[in-house]
């Protein structure tokens, strides 16, 4: 391959275009970068990080404690109590639910009388106590009308006569309505309608075997039978006379030839057998031209 300058040139061009070879030196030296600590950009970055950082920006006060009996602590508590709104209003909040009003005053009596007027128990007490001593007149028009309406609307009174007589009623057998009902029952009865047929169908009737409709039905059944229709064919299906070889039957040979023509496997058999035997001469014009172009 080294004797052909074109192949050597193609190899060199492939190395130039290869991205892996192009980055090989970079990957070998990328971890060997050295940055001096006193470079100006590094120092500036440290100063910016120190300015941006929140840790040195905040200076927390020192933690200190004081005794509860210290004078300045006591004075501070008093000052806070004086400025506290909750302590200022504590007396008012305590007295808010402790209302007081003098007994037998005008407002007190007015409220009591209003409560007595609104109270339904006191309002109905006198009527309930005297209820047993009250009697009403029985023959007033209102009472009489109420009693009559009660009797008219009572379902028990409405059905009282029927309930007393419903077990003691005996009707006659020869009324027109009963006779009509019996006749209608006979007309609509399916049992009476089929009684004559049911009584005669089991005995007293013979059907001869040579009856024309029966013979015709049997013959029609024999004609319509698919099994009887194919009996001769099924018996002779395995007894056809044939030659000893398939060449004795032109129709069989014709079918085989037709199937070979339709078979894609047989159609491509010659091609599959000879497709690997193609020979291209080395001095063919197209072949020589392709080598020169390469």
Predicted confidence (pLDDT) per residue in 222-268, tens digit: 777 778 788 888 887 766 655 666 677 777 788 888 888 878 777 88
CA within 13 Å, CB half, 41: 2
pLDDT digits (tens, 9 = 90+) for 67-112: 878 888 889 889 999 999 988 988 888 877 777 777 888 888 998 9
* Domain presence at residue 11: yes
Percent of the chain with pLDDT over 70: 91
Q: Report the distance separating Cα 101 and Cα 97, nearest Å.
A: 13
Give a yes or no: residue 229 inside a domain. Answer: no
**Under 8 Å between Cβ of 283 and 291:** no
Q: Are 44 and 37 in contact (CB under 8 A)?
A: no
Is residue 41 assigned to a domain? no
117 occurs within a structural domain: no
- Does residue 90 fall inside a structural domain? no
With beta carbons less than 8 A apart as the criterion, state whether 101 and 108 touch: yes
Q: What is the pLDDT of residues 6-55, one digit of tens each?
A: 778 878 888 777 777 778 888 888 877 777 778 888 889 888 888 887 77
Q: Is residue 151 part of a domain?
A: no
pLDDT of residue 145: 92
| Number of neighbours of residue 252 by Cβ within 10 angstroms | 14
Region of 156 on the Ramachandran plot (φ > 0 left; ψ -120 to 50 alpha; else beta):
alpha
Helix (H, G, I), strand (E, B) or coil at 135: coil
- 37 within domain boundaries: no
* Whether pTM exceeds 0.85: no
Domain that includes residue 25, residue range: 1-32
What's the total number of domains in the chain? 1
Q: Kindly state the DSSP code that residue 201 receives in the 8-state scheme.
A: S
């Amino acid at each position: 391959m080294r004797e052909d300058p074109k192949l050597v040139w193609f190899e060199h061009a492939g190395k130039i275009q290869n991205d892996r070879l192009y980055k090989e030196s970079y990957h070998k030296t990328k971890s060997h970068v050295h940055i001096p600590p006193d470079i100006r950009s590094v120092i500036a970055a440290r100063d910016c990080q120190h300015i941006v950082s929140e840790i040195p920006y905040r200076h927390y006060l020192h933690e200190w404690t004081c005794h509860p009996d210290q004078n300045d602590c006591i004075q501070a508590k008093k000052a806070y109590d004086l400025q506290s709104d909750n302590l200022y209003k504590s007396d008012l909040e305590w007295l808010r639910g402790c209302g007081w009003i003098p007994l037998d005053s005008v407002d007190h009596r007015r409220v009591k009388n209003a409560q007595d007027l609104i109270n339904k128990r006191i309002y109905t007490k006198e009527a309930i106590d005297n209820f047993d001593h009250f009697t009403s007149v029985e023959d007033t028009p209102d009472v009489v009308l109420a009693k009559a309406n009660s009797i008219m609307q009572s379902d028990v009174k409405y059905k009282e006569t029927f309930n007393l007589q419903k077990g003691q009623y005996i009707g006659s057998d020869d009324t027109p309505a009963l006779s009509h009902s019996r006749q209608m029952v006979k007309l609509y009865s399916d049992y009476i309608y089929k009684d004559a047929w049911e009584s005669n169908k089991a005995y007293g009737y013979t059907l001869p075997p040579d009856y024309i409709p029966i013979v015709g039905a049997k013959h029609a059944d024999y004609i319509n039978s698919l099994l009887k229709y194919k009996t001769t064919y099924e018996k002779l299906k395995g007894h056809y006379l044939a030659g000893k070889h398939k060449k004795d039957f032109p129709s069989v040979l014709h079918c085989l030839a037709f199937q070979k023509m339709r078979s894609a496997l047989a159609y491509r058999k010659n091609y599959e057998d000879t497709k690997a035997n193609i020979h291209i001469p080395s001095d063919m014009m197209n072949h020589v031209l392709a080598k020169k172009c390469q």
